Amino acid sequence: MSSFSVRFLSLPVLLFAAALPSRAQSVSPAPVAVPAPASGSASNSSSNAAAPAPGEVLNLDKFVVSAGLDDKTAFDVAQGTSILSGDELHEHAGGTLGATLDATPGVSATSYGPGASRPVIRGLGGDRIRVLDNGVGALDASNISPDHNTALEPLFARRIEVLRGPATLLYGSSAVGGVVNVIDNAIPATALSGPPAGAIELRGFGAADERTAVLAVGAGRGNFAVQIDGLRQYSGDLAIPGVARIDADAPPNQPSGTLPNSDISTKSGSVGATWFTGNGHLGAAVSTYATTYGVPTDEPISIVMQQRRFDLQGETTSDSGFFRGVRARFGYGDYTHSEVADRTTVNTTFFNQAWEGRLELPYAVTENVSGTLGVQAARSDFSAVGEEVVTPPSITASQAIFALQEWKSEGLTLQAGGRLERQSLELGEVDPTLPAVTGYAAQSGEKTIKTGASGSLGAVYYPAKDWALSLSLAYTERLPTAQERFSNGPHGGTGAYEVGTTGLGRERSTGLDISLRRRAGFVTGSLTGFVNRFRNYIYEQELPAGTIPAANNPDDLTAYQFVARDALFYGGEAELTFHLLERNDHSLHLGLTSDYVHAEQTTDHVPLPRMPPLRFGADLRYQTTHWQLGLITRIATRQDRFTTEETATPGYALLNADVAYVLTSGRTTYEFFVRGDNLTDEEARVSTSFLKDFAPLAGRGVTAGMRVTF
């Protein structure tokens, strides 16, 4: 094991071990309310461990609606899970999904400038991470390239759930790295009565001179509820420490202090309605997301993106019989985005008309034996026109069946599941002038059908009150995407000429997770270790110079080809909270986090590209009836494991702080907040980013705002 992994494991293990005898040190705060399960749940979650006594510090008690079966708390699921909601979500919410989750243990971000950033979980990104909008795929093109942002608005989210590790059984073979489920209230989740309820938020300033306004209002009468959400956001070029570009080809006399072409303009909104019955609900929503953002490369490009979307959700529940209800979700998205040079010339336009639907049938054999049967189907019609068409048009369709089963006994829960997925991929017209490259042999109208199977076993053991030990073993087969098989063209977003390998087969992985959790006491939290071994791991490998003729590659972009090699990932995460002070009217908590991933190609024992480094975080938070104060530091160590085409990434330490004042008047709550980011103006570059040599993270910035809930 490397010295990095030894350092990662030693600190949190010592801290957690120190908490083992601390049961007698538990302080007595005010009782903590456990949130209710999601609307329409057949039953409440109940762990086999005894419930904490009234007055004990509670953590890990948030329900995880993305984990399948009945709603479980983070304490009871077999996989590593993180949940952002409430004040914690408000503190971390950023302009992109990647930026919002970047401080979450095990989660980093692609950081392709401030306008585009997608989550990377345990070093896995792209099509290995399923990004969901209320349980249905995002239906955009963010998994195709790091310069494509997700068509989701984090500021509308009421909670974001992250499932680390293989979660493929519920959501598809492309969830081998994990699942990020953004849950909003576009389709109202509860019946409303009385006057309208909602929130208004205004925020501004910061490192990019941000201006944001968010409105969310719901109203209802009887069994009917309506929700209206709207957002308008603008930010200018990002303030940075020093110069932006530091690569060997950087021109002299660069502008300093600002990241050129990094402005953002976004409009988003939705209207939804739900009809509630005595044992279920049916709801629908229409939404739109439109954004224009700069990509800070050497040749300035702007992305003009728009998605129109329709979503439908329904659920019925029953307290008797074998099947305990039906859950159905459907989403349709019409997505387009254009890459524009110099704000005027459209180079390439991408289109994706996609839909996804799923049906789940929860069942109960006995009180302690239950499960879920489900089917899922999806279709994506993807195409691009313009100067930089990397992938020919394609239609990808998939159908899957899955089953999850759970057995409960005293002190132990066992889980098992399986999934069978069929994928068909049909090409449109292939450009006959594409250069011949070994391994590439695409033909117009070609259609291939592949099938993948996955399975998992999980166990949660409760050795003592408020302790849980979980184990998860999963085998996953991921089917290659159209981009991995059929790309052949220049890609300005990554500064590369990308070539697919048409004969790529299934990407097979076997993953093992083990977690130790404590939910009550002076120290709460979790320690998690994982190992994931891949056969035929697909990634881009540099081709020899001159492979692509100059006529097809006039800009002399470096050529890469998607290849399959065996690979090994291992590492872990730690997330601990020290409850230093708990009183009825004030509290003081210290949160410590750490994560680490080691990834290498096992054929040649060389590092895989763009891996996150060892990271640490600390969050000291004090709260009273009216005041909330936080001091946060995030540390990334130097990343000196990199491929031949990369360079080392220096470490950094960021210092942030926030303060908020909360005032309640009747049914209205006013919150005034100020947040300072990167207060020491540290230069920070991210090893997971294609643009680390072009675009550092934001410099010093102070954001102020007001949130009104009613």
b/e 263-277 (16+ beta carbons within 10 angstroms → b): bbbbbbbbebbbbbe
Q: What pLDDT score does 35 carry?
A: 32
Q: Looking at residue 254, what is its pLDDT?
A: 85
The parent domain of residue 158 ranges over 3-709
Q: What percent of the chain has pLDDT over 70?
A: 91
- State the distance between the two ends of the chain, measured CA to CA, in whole angstroms: 54
Q: Which residues pair with 614 in a beta bridge?
A: none
Phi/psi of residue 68, each to 5°? 85, 175
Listed in sequence order, the residues at least 6 apart from 508 whose beta carbon sits closer than 8 Å to its beta carbon are: 475, 476, 477, 478, 534, 535, 536
Distance CA 105, CA 81 (A): 9
Separation CA 539–CA 478 (nearest Å): 13
Strand partners, 204: 211, 704
Residues 6+ apart with CB under 8 A from 6: none
Q: Is the pLDDT of residue 394 over 60?
A: yes
Q: How far is CA 471 from CA 27, 46, 78, 165, in A?
A: 30, 19, 6, 12
As a whole number, mean pLDDT of residues 678-692 equals 96
The 3-state secondary structure of 512-552 reads EEEEEEECECCEEEEEEEEEEEEEEEEEEEECCCCCCCCCC
> Residue 461 and residue 472: Cα distance in Å, rounded?
12
What DSSP string describes 638-690? -B----TT---B--EEEEEEEEEEEEEETTEEEEEEEEEESTT------TT-T
* Residues above pLDDT 90, as percent of the chain: 76
pLDDT band at 397 (very low <50, low <70, confident <90, very high): very high
Of 125-129, 488-492, 607-611, the poorest mean pLDDT is in: 488-492
**Beta pairing partners, 406:** 370, 415
What's the pLDDT score for residue 362? 94
CATH number of the domain that 150 lies in? 2.40.170.20
Given pLDDT bands bounded at 50, 70 and 90, which one contains residue 54? Answer: very low
β pairing state of 394-409 and 467-478? unpaired
Instruction: For residues 150-159, give the mean pLDDT.
Output: 94
Residue 176 DSSP symbol: S
CB 704 within 8 A of CB 204: yes
Please count the structural domains in the chain: 1
CB atoms within 10 A of CB 638: 13
Res 166: pLDDT: 63
Nearest 5°: the CA angle 679, 118, 116 is: 70
The Cα–Cα gap between 58 and 38 comes to 20
Residue 109's pLDDT band (cuts 50, 70, 90): very high
- How far apart CA 314 and CA 358 sit, in angstroms, is 11
Q: What is the pLDDT of residue 224?
A: 95
Chain position carrying tokens 């690569």: 247
| Residue that the structure tokens 């360079």 belong to | 647
As a whole number of angstroms, the distance between CA 204 and CA 545 comes to 48
Residue 357: the pLDDT is: 97
Most confident listed range (71-80, 92-101, 171-180)? 92-101
- In angstroms, how far is CA 489 from the centroid of its own chain? 29
Please name which of 534, 623, 650, 447 lies closest in space to residue 87, comparing C-alpha atoms.
Answer: 623
Which tokens belong to 626?
Answer: 């009216």
Three-state SS string across 407-453, please?
EEECCEEEEEEEEEEEEEEEECCCCCCCCCCCCCCCCCCCEEEEEEE
Residue 279 near residue 318, CB atoms below 8 Å: yes
Mean pLDDT of the chain: 89
Other Cβ atoms less than 10 A from the Cβ of 550: the count is 9
How far, in Å, CA of 686 to CA of 697, rounded?
8
pLDDT at 59 over 50: yes
Higher pLDDT, 405 or 25: 405
Separation between Cα atoms, residue 32 and residue 320, nearest integer Å: 32
56 pLDDT band (50/70/90 cuts)?
low
* Rounded mean pLDDT, 204-215: 97
Residue written as token pair 């068409």:
389
Question: Which residues, 6 or more positions from 433, have their beta carbon under 8 angstroms from its beta carbon?
Answer: 552
Pairing of strands 280-295, 264-277: antiparallel
Confidence class for position 69, pLDDT limits 50, 70, 90: low
**618-621 contacts: CB < 8 A, separation 24 or more?**
618/590, 618/591, 618/592, 618/593, 619/589, 619/590, 619/591, 619/592, 619/593, 620/588, 620/589, 620/590, 620/591, 621/588, 621/589, 621/590, 621/591
Q: What is the pLDDT of residues 249-307, one digit of tens each?
A: 888 888 899 999 999 999 999 999 999 998 999 999 999 999 999 999 877 889 999 99
pLDDT confidence band for 233 (50 / 70 / 90): very high
Q: Rounded distance, CA 668 to CA 708, Å?
A: 7
Of 103, 133, 91, 97, give the one whose Cα is nearest residue 115.
97
pTM of the model: 0.90
Q: What is the pLDDT of residues 623-638, one digit of tens each?
A: 999 999 999 999 999 9
**Tokens in use for 590?**
């210290």
Residues in the chain: 710
pLDDT at 248: 85
585 pLDDT higher than 50: yes
pLDDT at 63: 76
What is the dihedral sign for C-alpha 343, 348, 353, 359?
Answer: negative
pLDDT at 170: 82
Q: Is pLDDT of 95 > 80? A: yes
Instruction: Name the residue with higher pLDDT: 387 or 162.
Output: 162
Q: pLDDT per residue over 422-460, tens digit each?
A: 999 999 999 999 999 999 999 999 999 999 999 999 999
**Residue that wins the pLDDT comparison between 661 and 61:** 661
Closest by alpha carbon to 158, among 306, 289, 39? 39
Q: Are 517 and 480 in contact (CB under 8 A)?
A: no
Cβ-based neighbours of 33, under 8 Å, separated by 6 or more: none
User: Which pLDDT does position 528 carry in this prediction?
Assistant: 97
- 332-382 tens-digit pLDDT: 999 999 999 888 889 899 999 999 999 999 999 998 999 999 999 999 999
Residue 90: predicted pLDDT? 87
Instruction: Check residue 55 and give its pLDDT.
Output: 46
- pLDDT tens, 174-193? 888 999 999 999 999 988 88
Given a cut of 50, whether residue 573 has pLDDT beyond it is yes
